[in-house]
Amino acid sequence: MNLSAIKGFRGAFLDFIDDPFYVSELESVRYFPDGLLVIENGIIQDFGDYAEMHSKYPNLSITHYRDRLILPGFIDTHIHFPQTEMIAAYGEQLLEWLHQYTFPTERKFKEKSYAKKIASFFLDELLRNGTTTALVFTTIFPESVDAFFEAAGDRNLRAIAGKVMMDCNAPDYLKDTAQSSYEETKALIQKWHKNGRLLYAVTPRFAATSSEKQLQLAGKLLAEFPDVYLHTHLSENVKEVEWIRELFPHSQNYLDVYDRAGLVGDRSIFAHGVQLSPAEFKRLSEANSAISFCPTSNLFLGSGLFKLQQAKSQETPIKVGLGTDVGAGTSFSLLQTANEGYKVSQLQGRKLSSFQALFLATLGGAKALNLEEKIGNFDVGKEADFIVVNLQATPLMALRNSGELPQTLAEIGDRTFALMMLGDDRAISATYILGDRAKIT
């Protein structure tokens, strides 16, 4: 074995090996107060308790993070890179917000150099917040897709994105046609899907901005390229749902508009789902599709309270990840997103534990993106994307989380709850991509 290619990280590690919405914490959470992670060429080779393992690796070069918690990198299952600069746009709900703020901003991304500049800022912001993988909306302009993938590739990130398809109910400057969106998407899939760690998602914006023909062609692309993803918005806002009913009178419900075009499958990720009916929950469960739960956005735009517990029920289990949905979302931090998710649950009389929230931000997100074989926890063979977290990053956090890292699950569960309520980018001490520390400019 060439030991020089191998490196080790020592510290407290927490990850998930099963879903804490369905099994006990003892069965789902893995916590090593003093653990060792062994990495070779960016891939996890070994993982466990330091005392039990270290004699196997006498010459290992080890980075020791004392008083830090090491977690798998966070996974953001829904975010828009071109909306970075228009985060915190005042006063409107979804449809007005799109016309007043979003569309004029996205117009700027026809210019590749501008798109590159914002893509670079955006990816640094993700990494600063401990997000190592994201499913990303671009704009209708292929230049913006290239800009995003080039910047993500430069950073060795596992990322998924796609060109937005929209051929109606939008300003002329932000419309493609059914045919041009088909052809451009096809070329972009051929260029970017499985290019290194990058993956492609066919991305109709939402049913309101696509003709039936465009949705059908999106379905044709999924049939032609069965391992690409489908990424869109679904049932976010009451006025939007009424509009979809008017636009597609022959569909049974919002999800059915996508279903008729062949867009509802096990590689489909739908953002929001705030207004879903029981029949739609059932269909999403049957199809093994995923929902991205975007609490900061759902609250900011006044969309409503996502029924997380229904999505994670025994009857209609659905894959769920967390989404920041920047720029309707108000933070790049999945910790702050979990914070708002907790409050959304409280408003429905339900609890969201820190373990459940951290599961959604890591292994749950990986499962939502069908990437659980590659990322999401510290299993041997997975890609070594991880973050080093300071539970005492601010004076208030240091007071609330005082003392050494605890030994028990109950105690670490309490500390991570304080982390998710009080933490943000300040709590992320370092972000590692394939075992290398990311340089954030």
Nearer to ligand GUN, 294 or 375 (CB): 294
Binding site for ligand GUN (CB under 6 A): 80, 94, 98, 102, 205-206, 233, 236, 297, 325, 328
Shortest gap between Cβ of 297 and ligand GUN (angstroms)? 5
Compute the least distance from the CB of residue 157 to Zn ion, in Å: 20
| DSSP single-letter state for residue 275 | T
Q: How far apart are the first and last CA of the chain?
A: 35
Which partner in Zn ion, ligand GUN, none is near 210 (CB below 5 to 8 A by kind)?
none
Q: Nearest distance from residue 332's CB to ligand GUN, in Å? A: 15
Token pair belonging to 115: 């798109």
Which H or E run contains 158?
Answer: strand 158-162
Residue among 231 and 415 whose Cβ is closer to ligand GUN: 231
- What is each CA distance from 332 to 133, 265, 324, 433, in whole angstroms? 12, 28, 6, 18
Taking the least distance from each CB to Zn ion, the nearer of 203 and 353 is 203
Binding at 357: pick from Zn ion, ligand GUN, none (beta carbon under 5-8 Å per type): none
Closer residue to ligand GUN, CB minimum distance, 248 or 355: 248
295 with 337: CB under 8 angstroms? Answer: yes
**DSSP-H helix ranges across 210-276:** 212-224, 238-247, 254-260
Among Zn ion, ligand GUN, none, the one that 307 touches (CB under a kind-dependent 5 to 8 A) is none
Q: Which positions lie near Zn ion, rule CB under 5 A?
A: 271, 325
What does the alpha-carbon distance between residue 403 and residue 78 come to, in Å, rounded to a whole number?
Answer: 36
Instruction: Give the residue closest to Zn ion by C-beta.
Output: 325
Instruction: Say how far apart CA 57 and CA 54 lie, in whole Å.
Output: 5
What is the Cα–Cα distance from 311 to 375, expressed in whole angstroms? 23
In the bound state with ligand GUN, the residue whose beta carbon lies nearer, of 98 and 358, is 98
The total of other beta-carbon atoms located within 10 Å of residue 315's CB is 9
> Which of Zn ion, ligand GUN, none does residue 16 bind to, with CB < 5 to 8 Å depending on kind?
none
Nearer to ligand GUN, 120 or 237 (CB): 237
Give the span between the Cα atoms of 135 and 381, in whole angstroms.
Answer: 22
Q: Which option in Zn ion, ligand GUN, none does residue 94 bind, with CB closer than 5 to 8 A by kind? A: ligand GUN
- Least distance from C-beta 327 to Zn ion, angstroms? 9
Q: Largest Cα–Cα distance of the chain, in whole Å?
A: 69
